[in-house]
Amino acid sequence: MVRGRISRLSVCDVRFPTSLGGHGSDAMHTDPDYSAAYVIIETDAEDGLKGYGITFTLGKGTEVVVCAVNALAQHVLNKDLRDIVGDFRGFYRQLTSDGQLRWIGPEKGVVHLATAAVLNALWDLWAKQEGKPLWKLLVDMDPKTLLSCIDFRYITDVLTEEEAYEILQKGRVGNREREAQMLAHGYPAYTTSCAWLGYSDDTLKQLCSKALKDGWTRFKVKVGADLQDDIRRCRLIRDMIGPEKTLMMDANQRWDVPEAVEWMSRLAEFKPLWIEEPTSPDDILGHATISKALAPLGIGVATGEQCHNRVIFKQLLQANALQFLQIDSCRLGSVNENLSVLLMAQKFGIPVCPHAGGVGLCELVQHLIIFDYIAVSASLKNRMCEYVDHLHEHFKYPVIIKKASYMPPKDAGYSTEMKEESVKKHRFPDGEVWKKLLAGQEN
């Protein structure tokens, strides 16, 4: 049972200098330092449990998210946790409808990233107090209770609460068998770690060879900076993995719409399953145009990691603008908003293949996609979750990958808690790592 009044909310800026090795580099983000605004929520409950929440950033600007978290703190402090989860829809709307803060949103940008960090911490605390991993908390939740966490405002033209209830009721059929399947075999994953755009060919070959030995069958390559270079790198990785394994491509918003169609027509020979973020994430009709043009080539469109909110996802689905939907656990308004998108995707019959990687994104989103399979979609067809093998060692409950699959977490919470020594070492700008780097020294 949830308990305690929130007595403290703290937030810090944690950054990892991944740009030094080209990790995470793509056509638009050439020097990312994987970072997080890291929120800790404490209560006056005697159990001493804390909730930990993150939102993912690329370095600069994390301090702005930290400011936004502090601006939202007034809505959280001194609230009874029972009251929050008892009307989670109302609390979500309170955070996203602050009469002044929403002006620099609403439900998008820095304020929404901050909202996600705060809500992630609350979900972590709720799951810990119930003694369950988050995915299990959601799976075991009564459908009406789960739906009470979702703000259906702005999406009832495509998904009503009654329709969502029917989806969840249908999902209860066979859910225990699917849960057992997840516990035994895990959720299928794909790797992005082999082919960051900043990697040399030798590094790509080395990492790809190791991934193949480790049993990976699904690979994603970054494209979009130079066509001839893309052709060469795609040929290299396709030759290494063979024709039977799955290849995806990711342009990270690099192209205009006509350019995307032309570029992917040239890369079609490598048989990609999808092209991810081919153009601006806000261009719904542009994605629809690209989807229609690439369909005869057998190439789908995937997007969502920078999709602002459930409303944009709603329109992407309405416009037939994507064939693979990529939720993100830290850009949308935490679990609450992701639940609405999972349900909309199910209604439209579009597979969800989450965005992960970064700092803790794998740790978080595994809970959502495992819940989706057990309680919503009941399908693994054309479904997989991204995996990136960076920075997991900094988390108290890191992901477990076996045979290229996510194994369901068994520890209580949302897997968001970082190791204290990692936070202390990488806290910006006064952590040990950053003191050295800012002084011009090597890490």
* Backbone torsions φ then ψ of 106, nearest 5 degrees: -85, 145
Task: Check residue 206 and give its pLDDT.
Answer: 94
Coil/strand/helix, residue 73: helix
* Backbone torsions φ then ψ of 282, nearest 5 degrees: -90, -10
Task: Check residue 357 and give its pLDDT.
Answer: 82
Instruction: Return the residue matching tokens 């602002």.
Output: 308
In whole angstroms, give the CA distance from residue 71 to residue 189. Answer: 37
Reading the block at residue 66, the tokens are 């930290």
Rounded to a whole number, what is the largest CA-CA distance in the chain? 62
In whole angstroms, give the CA distance from residue 97 to residue 9. Answer: 20
Task: Check residue 22 and give its pLDDT.
Answer: 83
Q: What is the CA radius of gyration of the chain?
A: 21
Q: Which of 14, 23, 24, 25 is nearest to 69 (CA)?
A: 14
Q: Which amino acid is at 141?
A: M
* Backbone torsions φ then ψ of 300, nearest 5 degrees: -90, 170
H helical segments located in 172-247: 175-185, 201-213, 227-241
334: left (phi over 0), alpha (psi -120 to 50) or beta: left
- CA distances 183 to 189, 361, 370, 402, Å, are 15, 20, 10, 11
DSSP H/E element including 248: strand 246-250
Residue 160 contacts residue 152 (beta carbons within 8 Å): yes
Cβ atoms < 10 Å from Cβ of 160? 12
Coil/strand/helix, residue 107: coil
Task: Check residue 21 and give its pLDDT.
Answer: 84
Reading the block at residue 158, the tokens are 């495509």
Helices (H) and strands (E) in the chain, counts: 17, 12
Q: Which of 125, 2, 36 is nearest to 431 (CA)?
A: 36
* Backbone torsions φ then ψ of 75, nearest 5 degrees: -80, -10
Task: Check residue 24 and give its pLDDT.
Answer: 80
List the chain domain ranges.
Answer: 168-420
Residue 313 contacts residue 352 (beta carbons within 8 Å): no
Residue 312 contacts residue 283 (beta carbons within 8 Å): no
DSSP letter string over 344-408? HHHHHTPPB-----TTTHHHHHHHHHHHIIIIII---TT--EEE--SSGGGBSS---EETTEEPP
Give, in words, the CATH class of 168-420: alpha beta
Residues of the chain with pLDDT under 50: 443
Please calculate the CA angle 404-406-408 and round it to the nearest 5 degrees: 150
Task: Check residue 441 and give its pLDDT.
Answer: 61
Cis peptide before 17 (omega within 30 of 0): no
Reading the block at residue 257, the tokens are 């719409």
pTM above 0.95, yes or no: yes
Beta bridge partners of 190: 386
Please list the active-site residues: 222, 355
In whole angstroms, give the CA distance from residue 272 to residue 400. Answer: 27
HSE, CB side, 13 Å, CA atoms: give it for residue 265: 10
In whole angstroms, give the CA distance from residue 146 to residue 170. Answer: 14
**Sign for the pseudo-dihedral over CA of 53, 136, 368, 144:** negative
pLDDT digits (tens, 9 = 90+) for 388-432: 998 999 999 999 999 999 999 999 999 999 999 999 999 999 999
In whole angstroms, give the CA distance from residue 248 to residue 234. Answer: 10
